[in-house]
Amino acid sequence: MKKTQAVMADGREIVYYDTRDDAVRTAVDPRDLAPVVSGSEMRYDRLLDEWVVVASHRQTRTHLPAADACPLCPSTPERATEVAEADYEVVVFENRFPSMSGSSTSGRAGQDPSTPVAGGAAAGRPEPGWDHDPFPSRPSGGRCEVMCFTPEHDASFKDLTPERVRLVLDAWTDRTAELSALPGVEQVYCFENRGREIGVTLPHSHGQIYAYPFVTPRTATMIASTAAHRHRTGRNLFEDVLAAERADGSRIVAEGEHWTAFVPAAARWPYEVHLYPNRRVPDLLALEEAARAEFGPMYLDLLGRFDRLFDGEPAPYIAAWQQAPVRSGRVDFALHLELFSIRRAPGKLKYLAGSESGMGVFISDVPPETAAARLREVGE
């Protein structure tokens, strides 16, 4: 993999990833752009022990542009886009409308600016306490990046070759390493949203990478659960879950030498698959070469199954890499990919209604065993 770094017209970083060592990336962004000003902040919810990001500037972000106005396509002599080159394989750049940005070490008065921001009961709380400030807030910090998987405007991730998927995987790994090294970053999250039903505002195939200045609530909960399991049994919870799913077999979707895909027993979404490396590692950086080589064909197979579920109706989905935080909870955490769709049947979506949105209690429309059987059935 060859990595070429450059700077966009407004000072944002852009990074090209190529399979060929002789690839040359020298195009200069010709646009006249003002520097990005985000103004996002984090506000702390004392009742839930969580941080909420407020990013009002995102109201003006680009929304479902026409194909000839897509900002993620390569530039042409007639139109400059976010990508100055006339072609690319995989490219990553700082988001022009970031949810989080800026220095994550610029705390409020009275706070130690070198103290990492935390979220979730297992990861700490802001100081000082209630009497000094009942409504803690601070500049958001962190970083948000966009990753384009292909220059083809109408392509989907499932249309990539295994070789291109390997390049994407290597780029995810590199970005995890680079962002983890930034001051104040506590967790790196690589993900893809596909489909208008999910809320995608740019149809060109792309993903995003968030570098959070705190440990996310979902990850903090998993870390607490693994710690409790370790205390009770002396074993690793992720390893026990994977072993139990493989032994049961009823929710297994696909198995390889290095990866296992299964529908979790308590799946929240109508169609939800977790893809685990058979050898537990904390993050993408720790994946061994054999697992990297097998990932592309395995993941493309899963995406193909999702698209065959609904009579040719493309499945809207979220693909989310769960990685260990940068500094905490790493010993027992297990890297895995969670892939899920909000479509429950042809023409029908799973909405987050009163129980899910109001109380955080999911009610599943499709039994996990039925979902797994259906996903096995549509395999090629």
3-state secondary structure of 237: helix
Q: In the annotation, is 206 catalytic?
A: yes
Query: Which residue(s) pair with 17 in the sheet?
Result: 3, 90
Query: Virtual CA dihedral for 121, 123, 129, 132, nearest 10 degrees?
Result: -120
Q: What does residue 7 show for φ and ψ, rounded to 5 degrees?
A: -125, 135
Q: Please count the CA atoms within 13 angstroms of the CA of 20 that sit on its side-chain side.
A: 6
Looking at 153, 204, 206, 336, which residue is catalytic?
206
Tokens of 42: 């984090």
Spatial neighbors of 367 by CB under 8 A, at least 6 apart, are none
Q: What does residue 264 show for φ and ψ, rounded to 5 degrees?
A: -65, 150
Chain Cα centroid distance, residue 150: 17
Question: CA–CA separation, 80 vs 4, rounded Å?
Answer: 19
Which are the catalytic amino acids? 206
